[in-house]
Structure 1
Amino acid sequence: MTVSSNQARIIRVHPQDNVAIVVQQGGLEEGTHIEGDITLVAAIPQGHKVALEALNTGDRIIRYGEIIGTATAAIPRGGHVNENNVQLPIPPALSELPLATRKAPEMEPLEGYTFEGFRNPDGSVGTKNVLGITTSVQCVAGTVDYVVQRIRRELLPRFPNVDDVVGLNHAYGCGVAINAPAAVIPIRTLKNIALNPNFGGEVMVIGLGCEKLQPSTLVDDRPVKIYANTADADPEANVLSLQDDSFEGFGDMVDGIMAMAERHLERLNRRQRETCPVSDLVVGMQCGGSDAFSGVTANPAVGFATDLIVRAGGSVMFSEVTEVRDAIHLLTPRATTPEVGQALLDQMAWYDDYLAQGQADRSANPSPGNKKGGLSNVVEKALGSVIKSGNSPIADVIGPGERLRRKGLTFAATPASDFVCGTLQFAAGMNLQVFTTGRGTPYNLPMASVIKVSSNSTLGRRWHDLIDLDAGRIATGEASIEQVGWELFELILDVASGRKQVAADRLGLYNDLVLFNPAPIT
């Protein structure tokens, strides 16, 4: 990466690039001189691309050393390159890509780093200690929200080792084609959410009783114990249906849920933080509200931290199929085996078909905000997005809603939607998430802390009380990718240990879980 040293700073990522991005807050005016004898022939906003050479119609536009599109009109040297004069290139043909051909880089094991976590009987480790109340159908969401507030007021103060109680509401469960092949995705997602290590195995399920997705389905991998409103109610009960004949009115239902919650809180309160190796961490990497800086500052720093976690024996997942598809040729060679490489291709092909069925294509991404931040198309966005995966070998690929199976680096297939991706990564077992952004977002999850990393210092300063780490210092030359990567790694350990709170946790800002349901609704 080359950063110009004069006042009119630009960043050229690769020597072959014929475009560079503008660093200055507020952009650069027409007539500004950059990189020797180039003069801007138009005003160019911060993060947007300037042509370093004259481009004719049909000429390739190169960034990151890769073709991000072709010019739809002549662009003069010093001209503004943006979504209005760039055409999408043809995506890589999946059948022609190399699989597992890159020799894994030699990385020394990283030893001696630990965090303070909550160890579970199954060996997993939580970074929070949360009572999760999941639902089998949207019909009970209002009741769960009501009870959660009462639990926080009346019960939680008695259990100081429990961080919170969270209602896991969603829009699934009834009025859906529950036996359709694609219904496996939301159902396994809900089941695996309940297994997340931050819940310590104490998740409760609240259902209505008549829904298609019966509450017991969500805990069918463990003993199902139904709560009945009787004097000898089972203290191990984990499922309650509001339509149970033993309840007389809403007050009885609430009392039953409160009684269940108290028993679960008692068990959760026995959990204590203990020193755990980094190999017990499961970190999800995600980006949202991306800009042209994301691929040169925040995401490379995240990629560096990813490699540190993998070197320490931990687990990292990266996701977002539509923001990987156009850079898939950079990933398949990194698969540990041809089978893992083929699994990557299978997930790309499945999503290609899914988009086609919805009469959509890859041009639906990026968003208007991404374009305002300088990203011209999904190819440029993908090339910057995959950098979050660092240089580690890709050890495994899991489908939407599946649980993590291996240590190391995993591609967890998800849509690019922030909320859906976060939900699926949580179902996969992540106990903490890192989220890079160039445009800004208050996104956070109540059951797993989300560390926010800004890609540019303009956002870092403006959102000083929402951003946890400013990677924009890389663009201005104040810090290197390695320095910010180490800062992020140390911050991950502090947040995982409960020593530091992320900004959104301090402010109490939380998003709902959002299921991915590609199956029909009846």
Structure 2
Amino acid sequence: MPAFLRLGPDDDVLIATRDIAAGTALPGAAGAASASIPAGHKAAARDIAAGSPVRRYNQIIGFATRDIRAGEHVHLHNLAMREFERDHAFCADAKPQQPASETLTFNGIVRADGQVATRNYIGVISSVNCSATVCRQIAEAFRGDALRDYPNVDGVVAITHKSGCGMASQGEAVDLLRRVTAGYLRHPNFAAVLFIGLGCESNQVSALLGAENLAESDRLRAMTIQELGGTRSTIERGIALVRELLPKANAVRREAVPVSHIRVGLQCGGSDGYSGITANPALGAAMDLLVAHGGTAILSETPEIYGAEHLLTRRAVSPEVGEKLLARIRWWEDYTQRLGGEMNNNPSPGNKAGGLTTILEKSLGAVAKAGASNLADVVEYAQPVTAHGLVFMDTPGYDPVSATGQVAGGANVICFTTGRGSVYGCKPAPSLKLATNSMMYRRMSEDMDINCGAILDGTLSVQEAGAQIFRRIIEVASGSRTMSEEHGFGEDEFAPWILGPTM
């Protein structure tokens, strides 16, 4: 690979493909790097006057805070955010979607209600932090060889959290927690669930079931610690109930079902300067294939599409869908201002060390995960995703909170791109890790599923890498285990979005 990449013909910056020594010649321009430039970071492709916009991907990523000479390192010391107008042009780039000419299938588990699962767990879910220990100890009883007679059951999973009390029993905060919890209670990747509360919490078990139109059944069992007489009796009762549920949970078989039943939650974490060049566009290419086969891609992390939202509104299928996205952007602007923050309180320190300077730069790379499909719908956090195609879900940028909302909304696979090396799982949905560069992939090969750094190395094109990701998604949806599953990730990462004051 050359020492530098220029991603757009009008870009003001070049991306270093490796650590660059001072004096390294710039491509297509007179001059050389005036200082050492770390891999993934930016060098000025031309002289840039103070106050001028700076472009990457042919889009503005910030403004020069001083004169920058060709060959200089461009980063936090000379590039910053500034307000500027973006052309949202609702629906301008929306195009007729061409369905695939063939029907692809994967081996899924068809539930009685017609939903299709990619995994087959029993869940033990807490309504409140006070019942978390009980839930974990029930699940712990089924570790090791305890499930040897139930080969079709992937495990007994404790889904616990730190909230559910110390909050108002009515209002937006508890409604959101109930929506998330109900999404997990309904999730097809659970063959059955136990729902356990303490008994006196704000997030009452009976109130949640009523608000979400859920009822106890042979698949959903509910109990409270206070009614059962305490911790030990509740654990014993929970273990007995799981044992009752196991034979039916085991009596499933995988069968060929259309790929249109796959719903992929898109995440990026620990991003670097290559995320928007390799893994994110490769994942976008995979999502275009999934959408063409009738599946669903769920893009999220609203603070991390900030500044690139105009690329999505232009692909909206209707002005109403485009306006729904801008309404969520405005909500976030008000939310951060109200709390004394700002939308550019991102990238993270790790992102900056990897070469990302502003949220605009990060967002432009993050949006690439969505591919080129039309934006079919916009939903709020943890709302059920019913549309097929590309859907945007409003979530924070913090990956565990974001992915929790996606799974609650129905995602049955997660794809997670990373440049610095995030480790993450999201039971009951399997999580695939896509490395942005080969150096990190080799260093953390026990955590990574696919090396998109091959794009940077010149051995794969973006489209070829996308096809590889798409094939692997089908394999994983059919039961093949991911690296995060091998390590046991996914229970502790359940993290509902906490709104409102702690009382």
Q: Normalising to structure 2: TM-score of the pair? A: 0.96
Identity percentage of aligned residues: 36
Seen in structure 2, the aligned counterparts of structure 1 residues 105 and 46 have a Cα distance that, compared at 3 Å, is: farther
Mapped to 2, the partners of 1:203 and 1:187 lie a distance apart of: 15
Gaps of 5+ in 2: none
Question: Does residue 170 of the first structure (1) align with residue 153 of the second (2)?
Answer: no
Partner of 1:29: 21
Partner of 1:290: 271
CA contact (8 A) 2:9 2:58 kept: yes
CA contact (8 A) 1:11 1:475 kept: no
Mapped to 1, the partners of 2:104 and 2:395 lie a distance apart of: 30
- For 2:110, give the aligned amino acid: R
Partner of 1:118: 109
Mapped to 1, the partners of 2:223 and 2:481 lie a distance apart of: 33
Mapped to 2, the partners of 1:392 and 1:343 lie a distance apart of: 18
The equivalences for 1:501-516 within 5 A come to 501-510=481-490, 511-516=492-497
User: Residue deviations 1:215-253, cap 9 Å, x none?
Assistant: 12343355634xxxxxxxx96661011111x53x54322
Question: Does residue 350 of the first structure (1) align with residue 331 of the second (2)?
Answer: yes
Mapped to 2, the partners of 1:237 and 1:58 lie a distance apart of: 60
The equivalences for 1:163-202 within 5 A come to 163-200=154-191, 202=192
Report how far residue 11 of structure 1 moved: 1.2
Q: What is the DSSP-based 3-state SS (H/G/I as helix, E as strand, rest coil) of the residue aligned with 1:99? A: coil
CA contact (8 A) 2:291 2:389 kept: yes
Question: Does residue 76 of the first structure (1) align with residue 69 of the second (2)?
Answer: yes
Seen in structure 2, the aligned counterparts of structure 1 residues 475 and 384 have a Cα distance that, compared at 3 Å, is: same
Seen in structure 2, the aligned counterparts of structure 1 residues 407 and 218 have a Cα distance that, compared at 3 Å, is: same
The equivalences for 1:448-487 within 5 A come to 448-487=429-468
Q: What is the DSSP-based 3-state SS (H/G/I as helix, E as strand, rest coil) of the residue aligned with 2:390? A: strand
Seen in structure 2, the aligned counterparts of structure 1 residues 470 and 235 have a Cα distance that, compared at 3 Å, is: closer
- For 2:118, give the aligned amino acid: T
1:19 to 9, 13, 24: 13
Partner of 2:196: 206
Seen in structure 2, the aligned counterparts of structure 1 residues 98 and 381 have a Cα distance that, compared at 3 Å, is: same
Partner of 2:149: 158
Gaps of 5+ in 1: 226-233
Q: What is the DSSP-based 3-state SS (H/G/I as helix, E as strand, rest coil) of the residue aligned with 1:423? A: helix
- For 2:474, give the aligned amino acid: L
Report how far residue 520 of structure 1 moved: 2.0
Report how far residue 52 of structure 1 moved: 0.6
- For 2:69, give the aligned amino acid: P
CA contact (8 A) 1:291 1:374 kept: yes
Deviates more, 1:67-76 or 1:173-182: 173-182
Seen in structure 2, the aligned counterparts of structure 1 residues 290 and 91 have a Cα distance that, compared at 3 Å, is: farther
Report how far residue 184 of structure 1 moved: 2.1
Q: Normalising to structure 1: TM-score of the pair? A: 0.92
Residue correspondences, number: 500
Seen in structure 2, the aligned counterparts of structure 1 residues 465 and 418 have a Cα distance that, compared at 3 Å, is: same
Question: Does residue 242 of the first structure (1) align with residue 225 of the second (2)?
Answer: yes
CA contact (8 A) 1:423 1:515 kept: yes
Report how far residue 435 of structure 1 moved: 0.3
1:361 to 325, 336, 342: 342
Mapped to 1, the partners of 2:219 and 2:459 lie a distance apart of: 55
- For 1:212, give the aligned amino acid: S
The equivalences for 1:435-446 within 5 A come to 435-446=416-427
Mapped to 2, the partners of 1:152 and 1:219 lie a distance apart of: 29
Seen in structure 2, the aligned counterparts of structure 1 residues 475 and 214 have a Cα distance that, compared at 3 Å, is: same
Report how far residue 61 of structure 1 moved: 0.8
- For 1:68, give the aligned amino acid: I
Question: Does residue 58 of the first structure (1) align with residue 47 of the second (2)?
Answer: no
CA contact (8 A) 1:436 1:453 kept: yes
Seen in structure 2, the aligned counterparts of structure 1 residues 223 and 452 have a Cα distance that, compared at 3 Å, is: closer
Partner of 2:396: 415
- For 1:145, give the aligned amino acid: R
Deviates more, 1:427-436 or 1:210-219: 210-219
User: Residue deviations 1:363-421, cap 9 Å, x none?
Assistant: 21100100010001100000000011111111111101211021111001100001101
Mapped to 2, the partners of 1:235 and 1:97 lie a distance apart of: 49
Deviates more, 1:186-195 or 1:59-68: 186-195
Q: What is the DSSP-based 3-state SS (H/G/I as helix, E as strand, rest coil) of the residue aligned with 2:147? A: helix
Mapped to 2, the partners of 1:91 and 1:39 lie a distance apart of: 31
Seen in structure 2, the aligned counterparts of structure 1 residues 323 and 92 have a Cα distance that, compared at 3 Å, is: farther
User: Residue deviations 1:325-352, cap 9 Å, x none?
Assistant: 2101111011111111111111111111
Q: What is the DSSP-based 3-state SS (H/G/I as helix, E as strand, rest coil) of the residue aligned with 1:239? A: strand
- For 1:377, give the aligned amino acid: T
Mapped to 2, the partners of 1:158 and 1:351 lie a distance apart of: 49
Partner of 1:228: none
- For 2:73, give the aligned amino acid: H
Mapped to 2, the partners of 1:239 and 1:32 lie a distance apart of: 66
